[in-house]
A and B are shown apart, each in its own frame.
Chain A
Amino acid sequence: MSKLCLFIPIVFLLLTTSPSFCNNPAPQHKDTEHNFLESTKQGERIFKGLVLTKSNLKSCVSCHNLTYSDTLNWNPSAWDIAHSFADKKTSDFNSVINEPLAKVMSQVHDGYQYNEEELNHIKNYLLSLKTHGAEEQKPVVNNLILFLFLGLLITIALIDLFFTKKIKYKFIPILIFFAAFGYQIKMLSEDAMALGRNENYAPDQPIKFSHKVHATDNKIDCRYCHTGVDNSKSAVIPSANVCLNCHSIVREGRNSGKFEINKIHAAVENNKPIEWVRIHKLPDHVFFSHAQHVNVGKRECQECHGEVEQMHIVKQVEDLSMGWCLDCHDKTAVDFNYNNYYSNTFKELHLKLVKEQTDSVRVTDIGGRECARCHY
């Protein structure tokens, strides 16, 4: 259903704003344009391994995906390379592809020898990737078709049940009706609940930063980078200078070589911040404080974010719905011993605890279900 939601506005967009698609500048230099296109195509062939090259090496595309993909590939994607290198000179290109200096690269790229023409083609291809983007992937057969198909099934079943009566046993169309209708309802309610939720959202990031490498392999504490988590509502995404604390020395990564780390340096040099893709999003009308949960409530990061330290690509594990929040508030006990605020403020509850009339005070008992705790 969410695809349907997207589809209709897009159609509307196309209908209402089509003139704006026509304002591409008219081609001025026909010939160069033509040459460039040719070269781009050649480059694409080389990149995708559709041309016979002198060497029997793997084509570029076998290591470098065209765009981001959902599985982790440490090698930079074509799109990524295009953004870093397309503007560079062909000689730079040559040195990177044919005679790489970095350790990882030099092993992998051993034996690659492209001539200048080929390099130019590849470069032009990358350039076109940068400006036009990769081809849109065709959407997979989506739920909408299934949904409509089920609707058709229901209609047929009903028609037969009441009018045509071709099927001898009445329970068959009835069964079909209930099964199909039930499945439709399930689809609808699941999609409705998924609206605004991003469970399992794991977008590609501008830098292939792996929490597994940093937090598990190198045993860096979460708080080293996420400095705000104890005092601020925001856990803080580290600024580039925090990265540089280590990466001014560690210049080459185990998996990705220099490519990814260089992006940090490039950001600092170009005075351009790194635009991470936000994963854990709460709506604007929700106020969430890390300080309250992590510092006061002594929650572990993993309770909400999952085993981030085991993730190469960060994924949203929980659905972050209000029901999920409340569920935790219902279950979690408040530590009265630790924090004087609670024992001084919730005197009645504290007394009960001391007298062992209750075994624990839950967050809900001290107002954890009240609206204005999060919405104001």
Chain B
Amino acid sequence: MYVSPIREPLIKGNKTYSQITKDIAAPIEGKPGKAWYMGISLSLSAMFLGLAMMGWTIWEGIGTWGLNRTIGWGWGITNFVWWVGIGHAGTFISAILLLFRQKWRTSINRSAEAMTIFAVLCAGLFPLIHMGRPLLAFFVFPYPNTRDLWVNFNSPLLWDVFAISTYLLVSLLFWYMGLIPDIGTMRDRVKSKAKKFIYGLLSFGWTGSVKHWQRHEKLSLILAGLAAPLVLSVHSIVSADFATSIIPGWHTTIFPPYFVAGAIFSGFAMVLTLLIVTRKVLNLENYITLAHIESMNKIIIATGSIVGIAYLTELFISWYSGVEYEQYAFLNRAAGPYWWAYAIMMTCNVISPQLLWFRKLRRNLVFTFILSIFINIGMWFERFVIIVTSLHRDYLPSSWSMYKPTLVEVGIFVGTLGLFFTCFLLFIRAFPVIAIAEVKTVVKSSGEKEIKNETL
């Protein structure tokens, strides 16, 4: 394989526009394989398990979870933060990388955005079902009512309500606006009348007119401009759930940047996990190349290192602050009863990504895949460590307590994994996983053929 000394091609195999369309539309047009059926049945059953557990929780009460008077949040909010974090990669890739004109984003932004939406959906479930009275969840919206009551605008949890719902809606808009031209492509390719009708509806009557393209480009750019601070704000606000509180280990000013970095870190890891499988199964190796994987790995090292530095800063500041409660909280994280969670977090999030400094490993698919799963686990434990170990031993030792999750909580988590993969599997059957039109724009500049010509 030829490798350019200057820049590696992002699309391989001398693709014409028509071939690109055909390759990317192939998974939608063909019959799903055995793997897909296995995947969907597995994730559907996981989803139904989760739904049953959620029903049980709502019926019986939060007592079915392992929480107690000291530890009011456990797996539920850990999962919430974890999913929100995962939901950061998509918009980050499409918005921030768009602003930076990174061409390699074009092959991955579509699936990453879809992943964002599904992850945020999963995340949004947790604040809802972790409530003691989920049936009254509508109280969090400031709607006019006969009680003359409004909500508490001081509460970070309310900010969350606004941040998460805004993020979900804006991400949806962004994703769908990007999809319109590709749905147009699908509309023009499918043969069956019903499919043509549905794609026709969903394509919003896309014609490809130059005026539309002009506005569309502008819209994407400005939406990206809006979404970029939004991405940063969402996890900052999620971190404010903790940072604005007074619990030692939560009350930390470093949280917003640290959470955002962590979110992008985990989001990229999840994108890698999914794409490494997807490119193989859907035969998209020419579009999602090692160059893409390597670029993403580079971001992983960067964000992983930020996270690592944040961990160390936290430790340092807690010691330096001289506040006994802070000092104890961090000592207890590392050496208390939950030391193992801290150890997992440190190994997976700080130590393991450092291996990516080696180019060989950065370009090794198996290694990257395993690492991405490690990072997902590590980032889950980061949230667990922050939430549970801070709460379980706070100010008054008399209330110190331990937390052990129940099967119900585990079941709900598995259920959201099921929901996520179900959505993703349906997505790859319904819409192009790669932004066709956007790939076409870069094929000239970053395609294999062109670069060859240049170097020749």
Contact = CB atoms under 8 A, between A and B. Distances in A.
Interface string A191-235: 001000100000000000000000000000000000000000000
Contacts, number: 16
A229 B284 CA distance: 81
A322 interface: yes
Chain B binding surface SS class: loop
Contact of B148 (A197, A319, A322): A322
A321 interface: yes
Interface string B133-151: 0000000000001111100
Of the candidates A197, A319, A323, the one having the most CB atoms from chain B within 10 angstroms of its own CB is: A323
A34 B147 CA distance: 57
Interface string A314-341: 0000010111101000000000000000
Contacts of B146: 193, 197, 319, 321-324
Interface in A127-153: none
Contacts of A197: 146
A262 to B, nearest CB: 43
Interface residues of B, number: 5
Q: How large is the interface on A (under 10, 10 to 19, 20 to 34, 35 or more residues)?
A: under 10
Contacts of A193: 145-146
Chain A binding surface SS class: helix
A324 B149 CA distance: 12
Interface in A151-199: 193, 197
A332 to B, nearest CB: 16
B201 to A, nearest CB: 9
Nearest to A193: B146
Contacts of B149: 322
A322 B144 CA distance: 13
Contacts of A319: 146
A78 B113 CA distance: 71
B145 to A, nearest CB: 8
A326 B149 CA distance: 10
B454 to A, nearest CB: 49
Contacts of B147: 321-323
A322 B149 CA distance: 9
A289 to B, nearest CB: 20
A348 to B, nearest CB: 26
A326 B148 CA distance: 8
Contacts of B145: 193, 323
B146 to A, nearest CB: 4
Nearest to B149: A322
Contacts of B148: 322-323, 326
Contacts of A321: 146-147
Nearest to A326: B148
Interface in B118-174: 145-149
Contacts of A322: 146-149
A292 B339 CA distance: 58
A319 B146 CA distance: 10
A322 B148 CA distance: 7
Interface in A352-374: none
A327 B147 CA distance: 10
A326 B146 CA distance: 10
13 contacts: A197-B146, A319-B146, A321-B146, A321-B147, A322-B146, A322-B147, A322-B148, A322-B149, A323-B145, A323-B146, A323-B147, A324-B146, A326-B148
Given A193-B145, A321-B146, A322-B148, 8 more contacts: A193-B146, A197-B146, A319-B146, A321-B147, A322-B147, A322-B149, A323-B147, A323-B148
Interface of A: 193, 197, 319, 321-324, 326
Closest 8 CB pairs of A and B: A322-B147, A321-B146, A323-B148, A323-B146, A193-B146, A326-B148, A323-B147, A322-B148
Interface of B: 145-149
